[in-house]
Amino acid sequence: MATAFLHVDYVEKEKIGSLKFPKGDVLIAEESKKKRVSLIDQAIDAGNFAQFKVMILFQDDTSVKEVETTIWDRKKGKVYLKDGVFIPLERIHKIKFN
């Protein structure tokens, strides 16, 4: 998951619900996909126990974006933030712990 991006747009968590996400995974390597799930699960534990926030680097239909938020859950291919807001798992490039 060592991907470099020239430009990343910061987005507020509340705006994510209005974004459009195309089908298809942004990661190619199976090992990267496994690592992504592992990091998301770690972030869920940190969020549920300590309301710890992480940076999520993800891609919608227009650009690569970043949001700082708490991850609450992961199920059925979706990563849930707060108030029912979610990002499709397959659209997440990276999770960064601050």
How is the chain split into domains, by residue range?
A: 9-97
pLDDT bin (cut points 50, 70, 90) of residue 7 is confident
CATH class of residue range 9-97: mainly beta
Q: Answer whether residue 8 shows pLDDT above 50.
A: yes
Q: Round to the nearest angstrom and report the end-to-end CA distance of the chain.
A: 17
Residues 72-81 pLDDT 10s: 999 999 999 9
d(CA 11, CA 8): 9
- Residue carrying structure tokens 């619900």: 17
Name the pTM for this structure.
Answer: 0.91
Mean pLDDT of the residues in the chain: 93
- Calculate the CA dihedral of residues 39, 68, 15, 64 and round it to 10 degrees: -70
- Which two three-digit tokens encode residue 5? 């991006």
pLDDT score for 4: 64
Q: Are strands 78-80 and 64-69 parallel, antiparallel or unpaired?
A: unpaired
pLDDT score for 1: 45
- Residue carrying structure tokens 């020239």: 6
Q: Answer whether residue 20 shows pLDDT above 70.
A: yes
